[in-house]
Amino acid sequence: MTRGITLAMLAGMNTGRFIFAQLLDFLPRYEFNTCVDRYDGNRRVRTFSCWDQFLVLLFAQLTYRESLRDIESCLRAWSTQLYHVGIRGAVSRSTLADANESRDWRIWADMAMILIARARHLYAGQPVAGRLKATVYALDTTTIDLCLELFPWAKFRRRKSAVKLHTLLDLRGNIPCFINVSAGSVHEVNVLDDLTPEPGSYYVMDKGFIDFKRLYRFTLAGAFFVTRAKVNMDFRVRESRPVDRSRGLRADQTLRLTGPLTRGYYPAPLRRVSFVDPTTGRRLVFLTNNFTLAASTITKLYKSRWQVELFFKWIKQYLRLKSFYGNTPNAVKTQVWTAVCAYTLVAIVKKELNLTPSMGEIAQILSLMLFEKTPVKQVFSDMHPKINNIENHKPLSLFDF
């Protein structure tokens, strides 16, 4: 059976079904039940199952609901349609709040990893910087400010709380393959202890992650890193190679660390590439343990790190991650991981249905049409009038980053 026939049959089967119900066809229900059973999520549950909770939180993420009361009001307005999208239990803010606080957040984390594995498989053929065949990851951290009185467990500064999302992004499709949620006081470099370097892969990160003892683990594992050098780094140049100055390159050197501690933490040679951005005139110095790629490719690799910044911007703009439905660590992590599920679901739908609009455009359309009875493929067949209409109702200037 060809791909075209499959999509045609799918469009016929979806006639008369809500768009929300059609999206759920892309969720592996058996694997979800396995995640729930693993953590005994439905123990002593009568009316509001983990599946109900998951669907309600997906709805809240895709439609950018602001609070538990907002979720309750919107779903009650659609109460006669909820059965047809798979929500069997009554939806009330107290029930949802209790579920978010009591049911293990690892249920949603495990489900997100299942969706992530599927999305990474779908996007495996996507090109990356320098047309590398190896996997390229971008590592970064974003901070979400919170109220100290409501989130005392996430203390960040004297009068402020925050949570940090430490994220490793697979640049083939911009799929998050590792996320760690921590209190704001946890330094981002600590996340390197939780990563298992993959031999042959590239890890692109900012200089905030420089810890030579930790980075040496990547070298021992046969993985490569690209980061920015700190200005106070003590080193001695062992070799200099010619560079193409017309491309903005200024130096390509092999060096050894000479600091009293760093030379012991990282005893192997490093490569230093100096580059001047031709548009801004800004000088950037990169540090890597890879000696085979061209110096220009090293600069392109670091430039691709910006994709993780765009990922943070996307999830804060189109999903609900700047405020939370509950104050406990379990509720916060539940909301973060269901947001990851929502993001990955959109990425899977885009790829599976060969949709041409961007992820942001798809999210905007879905936010208004979840309870429309139109085949998903048909919804995006004539995008431009819909997008212009939505942008008039939801201006991007409402969101600050």
Reported as a single tens digit per residue, the pLDDT across 354-378 is 999 999 999 999 998 898 888 998 8
Which one has a higher pLDDT value, 159 or 386?
Answer: 159
pLDDT of residue 129: 73
pLDDT of residue 67: 93
**Would you kindly state where each structural domain of the chain is located, as residue ranges?**
3-109+326-398, 207-304
Residue with tokens 């200037």: 397
Distance CA 376, CA 15 (A): 10
Q: Could you tell me whether strands 160-170 and 136-146 are parallel, antiparallel, or unpaired per DSSP bridges?
A: antiparallel
**Rounded mean pLDDT, 260-283:** 93
**Rounded mean pLDDT, 101-114:** 96
pLDDT of residue 30: 95
pLDDT of residue 382: 61
Confidence of residue 159 (pLDDT cuts 50, 70, 90): confident
- The three-point CA angle 134-137-138 to 5° equals 150
Query: 279-289: string of b/e by CB count within 10 Å (b at 16+)?
Result: eeeeebbbbbb
pLDDT tops 80 at residue 5: no
Strand partners, 287: 227, 272
Q: What is the mean pLDDT of the chain?
A: 88
Please, are residues 169 and 175 in contact by the beta-carbon 8 Å criterion? yes
Which residue type, as a one-letter code, is found at position 6? T
Q: How many CB atoms lie within 10 A of CB 209?
A: 23
Which residue type, as a one-letter code, is found at position 254? T
Alpha carbon distances (Å) from 187 to 165, 239, 340, 368, 378? 11, 34, 22, 39, 46
**Rounded mean pLDDT, 220-228:** 97
What does the chain come to in residues? 401
User: How many angstroms from the chain centroid is the CA of residue 131?
Assistant: 22
pLDDT tops 60 at residue 222: yes
Task: Find the range with the poorest average confidence among 40-49, 232-241, 341-350.
Answer: 40-49
pLDDT of residue 255: 96
| 3-class DSSP assignment, residue 157 | strand
Q: Which two tokens stand for residue 118?
A: 């599927």
Confidence of residue 383 (pLDDT cuts 50, 70, 90): low
Please, are residues 286 and 148 in contact by the beta-carbon 8 Å criterion? no
Distance CA 171, CA 302 (A): 12
pLDDT digits (tens, 9 = 90+) for 42-90: 998 888 999 999 999 999 999 999 999 999 998 888 888 888 888 887 7
- The three-point CA angle 165-299-296 to 5° equals 155
pLDDT of residue 131: 78
Query: 30-52: string of b/e by CB count within 10 Å (b at 16+)?
Result: ebbeebbeebebbeeeeebbbbb
Above pLDDT 70, what percent of the chain? Answer: 91
Please, are residues 171 and 131 in contact by the beta-carbon 8 Å criterion? no
Distance CA 57, CA 54 (A): 5
